[in-house]
Amino acid sequence: MRLINYVGDRRLVLPLILMVVGIEFMRSGVGTFSVIHGSSMCPTFKPNDFVQAKTLYGESQRGDVVIITDNQNERAIKRIIGLPGETVTLYRGFVYVDCQRLNEPYLPKYTCTFKSSPEDERAIRWRLKANQYFLMGDNRSESCDSRNYGPVERH
């Protein structure tokens, strides 16, 4: 009787291993799926939109949309604005990277970007280190992003 139970248990091992390998393959090949909460990326992503996220091992580019984990282990979706080694400046409602005004075709026309108050005319500047990125949400008036918490590390 013991032998039958053992053989039965052994028959479960292979499907269990295949299931674990299959789940890992799906995560790495297909990625993960998330539901958007909040409006920081409107109009690109709206609340309750589904997104598929996949780990890419190449270099990230300006304009890429990324999912980050914040200090409270919450995930947020943002767009890469500044790359390692660059200087990002906010001045009079526009974003400048290394003194060149940034073209942002993904934003609605007449979108302004400010650090705090639009009446504040001072330029605000961030110099990114070799492993830092500057991220912003597309809905600039509703996004908590690098303007609030500063540049983020690549990891």
Whether 36 and 51 have beta carbons less than 8 Å apart is answered as yes
Residue tagged active-site, from 34, 40, 129, 146: 40
Ordered alpha helix ranges (H), 30-105: none
Extended strands (E) in the chain: 32-35, 50-53, 65-69, 75-82, 87-91, 94-97, 100-101, 124-127, 132-136, 152-153
First to last CA, the chain: 53
Annotated active-site residue 78? The verdict is yes
- Choose, from 78, 116, 129, 143, the residue flagged as catalytic: 78
40 belongs to the catalytic site: yes
- Active-site positions read 40, 78
